[in-house]
Chains A and B, each alone.
Chain A
């Protein structure tokens, strides 16, 4: 596994991520498009945060930055005490694989692979042995209620089932933070509720959870709601 300059550490209640004056802008035909402006954000270990805001306000951009898929144009971002902007591409990949679990609105499963194989992907890149990874993938598939569908392809599953596979996949390396970008956005309310229930369970088990949502029910279930508007944090509230 790729050596990080400093091990990522955490204690209960201590900040797991700490952003100061983080900006993100794109150069579009000479003019600068500011997508995130001076974001100051601290999230503690074990916290359950919802991010809300109108379309185009920069929610996904922020979440991608938290998940080390993207780097800030300006400002500091400490993840578990580690300055992210100083890391190279390989180290960011390692952090994503080992410490972050992504859940996407459109599930993002690989069509050619079956349930088990999809769940195994993050372990493959962490060098987990084949037997070990199969065992763990199966446990998680059973946990999200897909024990009977291990060999199924994503196209043979309902949306809710696909999202459960994605959740199992996000959990497989036992990540520090789970990031979900509108996880119920493509689901009907019944399946959405199932997903929400799983997420709440994860929170109860002590996972740090950051969820982008337009759904007030989900926002209500979170401990803290951050509202973005045009790249600013407009307001924060604790439930």
Chain B
């Protein structure tokens, strides 16, 4: 009985909405845009956050990264500028970490600087990374072809190198890179391996549907890297570099290491170890020439930012839904007053107030339902195009679909009740007399 009523009520609703196609369509547009913007905004927010999480995860959640930074200019030494500036991380620091900090699993010191690489007649600007054989253990790096640096390379300061895929793409194109020589600052280095920076880190769980445009370039937006044994780098490039500073000509800088990565055994040990590193570094570095980066901390910050982002985007979208709802209410009120006579007729023929409420409320709900469905469809298409055209990662979560649809249903009920109530409480005689 109830179901049979429902079916007829819905059919009646569709019929009268169909009578006013244009009006219904315009009304529904508000809901469509509201719902789709909720979904699209949440998808973009979620995608951005996953992207950030992945980038951070690639840095390694058990890692503590200590980087050399240029110390602030010594104020006292202004007039007579020092010709040689010595600062930054040293091999001694690395040793102290190794010996003095508990829970350390691996330590990877590295030198990093930009260079131009040449292969045949092709040139590319790359980053030279002087590093140790166990570098792949602490990063998301994988050896794709050939091999990575081994301890013999270190010992004999071999003139070999390992390149990443970006370098392969820029320098070798379709040539087989392994065995070829590339030229870096006048010296030749034989390529022995190709590494790829890939992330198998599936950060968050509830991905639903299309991970549209999962940008594979993520994290690799910088230049390509050429990995060389750290001993070779020290031997061939030295530790000096000529810096042309603004104002007073050039100066020579001496930096032993650009970076030390410390990896601990357990994630729980990250924060205490960070504290230890900090204490140790401040003891030996009077100049403020280092910074400590903890990916785990960044991850937490990114999550917090994502939360705020989601709230802001979500509320903007929710407001647009409410505006859509007010649009619906407006139209329904117009519909009710336009159909006053029909209401009177129905009342005279035995319709109870409740029947009138159901009739108009079901029309509103149908509108929002249709709007909700179309909105979901549009909301799933928009992120696809966004990631197609902007390389931004977008992720549509099931919860965002449910949220958007739920809000539109609530909007429908809230903004439909009042017009329906107005309709039901009109005086039947007055309504019948209405022209």
Q: Are A93 and B351 in contact (CB under 8 A)?
A: yes
Q: How far is the CA of A96 from the CA of B428 in the complex (A)?
A: 12
Q: How far is the CA of A46 from the CA of B432 in the complex (A)?
A: 27
Q: How far is the CA of A224 from the CA of B435 in the complex (A)?
A: 33
Q: How far is the CA of A96 from the CA of B346 in the complex (A)?
A: 10
- Per-position contact with A for B1-29: 1 when CB-CB < 8 Å, else 0? 10011001000000110010000000000
Given A64-B429, A70-B429, A102 and B348 touching (CB < 8 A)?
Answer: yes
Given A64-B429, A127-B1, A129-B4, A121 and B346 touching (CB < 8 A)?
Answer: yes
Q: Are B348 and A125 in contact (CB under 8 A)?
A: no
Q: Are B349 and A97 in contact (CB under 8 A)?
A: yes
Identify which of A102, A121, A130 contacts B4 (C-beta below 8 A): A130
Q: Are B355 and A125 in contact (CB under 8 A)?
A: yes
Residue A2 is within 8 A (CB to CB) of chain B in the complex: yes
Residue A157 is within 8 A (CB to CB) of chain B in the complex: no
Q: Are A69 and B4 in contact (CB under 8 A)?
A: no
- Per-position contact with B for A64-76: 1 when CB-CB < 8 Å, else 0? 1001011000000
Residue B342 is within 8 A (CB to CB) of chain A in the complex: yes
Q: Are B352 and A125 in contact (CB under 8 A)?
A: yes
Given A129-B4, A130-B8, A67 and B352 touching (CB < 8 A)?
Answer: no
Q: Are A110 and B354 in contact (CB under 8 A)?
A: no
Q: How far is the CA of A110 from the CA of B12 in the complex (A)?
A: 12
Identify which of B1, B4, B353, B432 contacts A104 (C-beta below 8 A): B432
Residue A193 is within 8 A (CB to CB) of chain B in the complex: no
Q: Are A94 and B19 in contact (CB under 8 A)?
A: no
Residue A164 is within 8 A (CB to CB) of chain B in the complex: no
Residues of chain B within 8 A (CB-CB) of A89 are 352-353
Q: How far is the CA of A70 from the CA of B191 in the complex (A)?
A: 98
Residue A112 is within 8 A (CB to CB) of chain B in the complex: yes
Residue B341 is within 8 A (CB to CB) of chain A in the complex: yes
- Per-position contact with A for B324-358: 1 when CB-CB < 8 Å, else 0? 00000000000000000110111111111111000
Residues of chain A within 8 A (CB-CB) of B347 are 69, 93, 96
Q: Are A125 and B350 in contact (CB under 8 A)?
A: yes
Q: Are A98 and B350 in contact (CB under 8 A)?
A: yes
Residues of chain B within 8 A (CB-CB) of A98 are 350
Residue A122 is within 8 A (CB to CB) of chain B in the complex: yes
Q: How far is the CA of A14 from the CA of B354 in the complex (A)?
A: 34
Identify which of B15, B350, B354, B429 contacts A97 (C-beta below 8 A): B350
Residues of chain B within 8 A (CB-CB) of A158 are none
Residues of chain A within 8 A (CB-CB) of B432 are 69, 104, 108
Q: Are A122 and B4 in contact (CB under 8 A)?
A: no
Residues of chain A within 8 A (CB-CB) of B428 are 69
CB-based nearest B residue for A2: B352
Interface size class of B (residues with CB under 8 A): 20 to 34
Q: How far is the CA of A220 from the CA of B237 in the complex (A)?
A: 125
Identify which of B342, B350, B429 contacts A93 (C-beta below 8 A): B350
B-facing residues in A88-122 (Cβ within 8 Å): 89-90, 93-94, 96-98, 102, 104, 108-110, 112, 121-122
- Write the nearest CB–CB distance from A121 to chain B, whole angstroms: 5
Q: Are B352 and A108 in contact (CB under 8 A)?
A: no
- Per-position contact with B for A109-149: 1 when CB-CB < 8 Å, else 0? 11010000000011011110110000000000000000000
Identify which of A112, A121, A122 contacts B19 (C-beta below 8 A): A112
Chain A count of residues within 8 A CB distance of the other chain: 28
Q: How far is the CA of A90 from the CA of B354 in the complex (A)?
A: 9
Q: How far is the CA of A71 from the CA of B5 in the complex (A)?
A: 30
Given A70-B429, A124-B8, A130-B4, A108 and B350 touching (CB < 8 A)?
Answer: no
Residues of chain A within 8 A (CB-CB) of B4 are 129-130
Given A70-B429, A104-B432, A124-B8, A112 and B348 touching (CB < 8 A)?
Answer: no
CB-based nearest A residue for B433: A60
Residue A169 is within 8 A (CB to CB) of chain B in the complex: yes
Residues of chain A within 8 A (CB-CB) of B342 are 110
Given A108-B341, A112-B16, A125-B355, A102 and B349 touching (CB < 8 A)?
Answer: yes
A-facing residues in B250-271 (Cβ within 8 Å): none
Q: Are A90 and B352 in contact (CB under 8 A)?
A: yes
B-facing residues in A56-86 (Cβ within 8 Å): 64, 67, 69-70
Q: How far is the CA of A104 from the CA of B355 in the complex (A)?
A: 22
Identify which of B15, B348, B350 contacts A94 (C-beta below 8 A): B350
Q: How far is the CA of A126 from the CA of B432 in the complex (A)?
A: 21
Identify which of B15, B351, B352, B353 contacts A112 (C-beta below 8 A): B15
Identify which of B346, B348, B353 contacts A67 (C-beta below 8 A): B348
Residues of chain B within 8 A (CB-CB) of A122 are 349-350
Q: How far is the CA of A191 from the CA of B30 in the complex (A)?
A: 49
Residues of chain B within 8 A (CB-CB) of A93 are 347, 350-353
Residues of chain A within 8 A (CB-CB) of B350 are 93-94, 96-98, 122, 125-126, 173
- Write the nearest CB–CB distance from A133 to chain B, whole angstroms: 10
Q: Which of A67, A90, A108 has the most chain B CB atoms closer than 10 A to its own CB?
A: A108
Q: How far is the CA of A102 from the CA of B350 in the complex (A)?
A: 11
Q: How far is the CA of A112 from the CA of B106 in the complex (A)?
A: 80
CB-based nearest B residue for A107: B345
Identify which of A2, A130, A169 contacts B349 (C-beta below 8 A): A169
CB-based nearest B residue for A109: B345
Q: Are A69 and B348 in contact (CB under 8 A)?
A: yes
Residues of chain A within 8 A (CB-CB) of B351 are 93, 97, 125
Closest A-B pairs by Cβ, 9 of them: A97-B350, A125-B350, A93-B352, A122-B349, A108-B345, A90-B352, A112-B19, A125-B351, A96-B350
11 CB contacts below 8 A, A to B, read A69-B432, A90-B354, A93-B350, A93-B351, A97-B351, A98-B350, A108-B432, A112-B15, A121-B346, A127-B1, A173-B350
Given A97-B349, A97-B351, 5 further pairs, Cβ under 8 A: A2-B352, A70-B429, A96-B349, A104-B432, A121-B345
Interface on A for B, CB 8 Å cutoff?
Answer: 2, 64, 67, 69-70, 89-90, 93-94, 96-98, 102, 104, 108-110, 112, 121-122, 124-127, 129-130, 169, 173
Interface on B for A, CB 8 Å cutoff?
Answer: 1, 4-5, 8, 15-16, 19, 341-342, 344-355, 428-429, 432
